[in-house]
Structure 1
């Protein structure tokens, strides 16, 4: 005697299909969000790399400014003398002394922390200002920085002749200065910034300087 087959309740198949559609939809949303997150990470990495390259370019421009060779009409190589840093001012300078910051006294905040290095800064040197070099920036059509990189130069006191394997005390009578450069570069997004520093040692004055 044949037993009657059991039938699934009406609508059960529809519930299963809806559940599957819900799972697929959740997976799709998760994949889309993951893609967006990855895209944002790639964009952030690219922006940081652009800002890093801009800051490195500013350091190189500052090196030309301080050490030369610099044949631009605005060159100011004679202002960077190890024994004479009269052009360096507290709060950084202006005009030909733009971006030249006096050494902070012991216990005071150094200029690279206190100075304004923003794109609208009145004390930081824009790339190429004293060297005539050019740098692509502010062009919405390409992957270039939103603003020109900028830098300041601090005169930092030091004792000693910097000769290898030779020590000198603070009373050696050889007080001089090295030049600490702080540069800031921006990414395509102006909120992305990279700050770099280097110290330049200039043992003698540049040719042609008094």
Structure 2
């Protein structure tokens, strides 16, 4: 039989082993908490870096469209575009946009997917090699040496612009198309990315007319609320014998430049 000292010693060892096991579990739990916190912090920093890069790409696209279409914007925009690029971005004839494709060279980043096509696959926006327009890598986040793993990039798509009261088909008097910009920025981990979208309306550059309709634009006006607007007068004509008569006149004041802002996708892992 065990004496009292032996039983006490065994009891003490049991307590020590249990305490050591408990301490080990607490240590492992603390380690996992610290590791999880570090991962969360890393994702937050990477998301901020990706957001900054995507916003810069979005701004670069808006600046390019502003210069190419002679559309005033509230912010400073000074970029020199080749004449071929300006022609490619014509918002009425859209010569740089081929249906079912994204351009390259002078038309790089100009996409016009068919309804059954995915812009992501067509442009390879999230891939190492992309048909988007790349911009320079943003500076590291203040207090961090982390830098984007990939250059931010953007693509531009034309979408129809139908303002209130406009007839569906106006022939040669068709208004400029809207431009939808999709921009993506990456974190230090390329699996962390932010995708932003805006819609950009270019100015109507001059009067156009057909026997049925006349569109007369006024000069764009910068407003105190940091927006730019343009007033458009649309006149519809009817023919009675050899005489043309005004059937209806409408006046619309349209906002130019950025019409919307949408964070389309934000991911931590992919």
Aligning the two structures, in what range does the TM-score lie when normalised by the shorter sequence?
A: 0.7 to 0.9
Match of 1:144 among 136, 144, 147: 147
* Structure 1 residue 7 displacement after superposition: 6.0
* Structure 1 residue 175 displacement after superposition: 4.6
- Indicate how the Cα distance of structure 1 residues 147 and 198 shifts in structure 2: closer, same or farther if over 3 A, else same: same
Spell out, residue by residue over 1:141-185, the C-alpha distance to the aligned partner (whole angstroms, 9 max, x if none).
92221111011111112334xxxxx42231344353111111111
Q: Tell me the equivalent position of 2:54.
A: 55
* Structure 1 residue 125 displacement after superposition: 0.7
Q: Secondary structure at the match of 1:20?
A: helix
Contact 2:185/2:194, CA 8 A, preserved across alignment: yes
Q: Secondary structure at the match of 2:177?
A: strand
- Indicate how the Cα distance of structure 1 residues 24 and 81 shifts in structure 2: closer, same or farther if over 3 A, else same: same
- Indicate how the Cα distance of structure 1 residues 73 and 159 shifts in structure 2: closer, same or farther if over 3 A, else same: closer
Spell out, residue by residue over 1:98-119, the C-alpha distance to the aligned partner (whole angstroms, 9 max, x if none).
11113x45x4325356321123
- Indicate how the Cα distance of structure 1 residues 177 and 112 shifts in structure 2: closer, same or farther if over 3 A, else same: farther
Question: 2: CA distance between counterparts of 1:38 and 1:85?
Answer: 50
User: Given the two structures, how large is their TM-score scaled by the length of structure 1?
Assistant: 0.77
* Structure 1 residue 52 displacement after superposition: 1.3
Q: Tell me the equivalent position of 2:169.
A: 171
Question: 2: CA distance between counterparts of 1:27 and 1:71?
Answer: 59
* Structure 1 residue 44 displacement after superposition: 1.1
Contact 2:187/2:193, CA 8 A, preserved across alignment: yes
User: Given the two structures, how large is their TM-score scaled by the length of structure 2?
Assistant: 0.61
Question: 2: CA distance between counterparts of 1:99 and 1:154?
Answer: 9
* Structure 1 residue 95 displacement after superposition: 1.1
**Deviating more after overlay: 51-60 vs 141-150:** 141-150
- Indicate how the Cα distance of structure 1 residues 73 and 175 shifts in structure 2: closer, same or farther if over 3 A, else same: closer
Q: Tell me the equivalent position of 2:103.
A: 93
- Indicate how the Cα distance of structure 1 residues 147 and 181 shifts in structure 2: closer, same or farther if over 3 A, else same: same
1:109 and 2:91 aligned: no
1:42 and 2:41 aligned: yes
* Structure 1 residue 49 displacement after superposition: 1.5
Question: 1: CA distance between counterparts of 2:177 and 2:118?
Answer: 15
Structure of greater relative contact order (alpha carbons < 8 Å, 6+ residues apart): 1
Gaps of 5+ in 1: 1-5, 128-133, 161-165, 206-210
Question: 1: CA distance between counterparts of 2:64 and 2:139?
Answer: 20
Q: Tell me the equivalent position of 2:133.
A: 125
Contact 1:158/1:177, CA 8 A, preserved across alignment: yes
The alignment of Structure 1 onto Structure 2 pairs a total of residues equal to 185
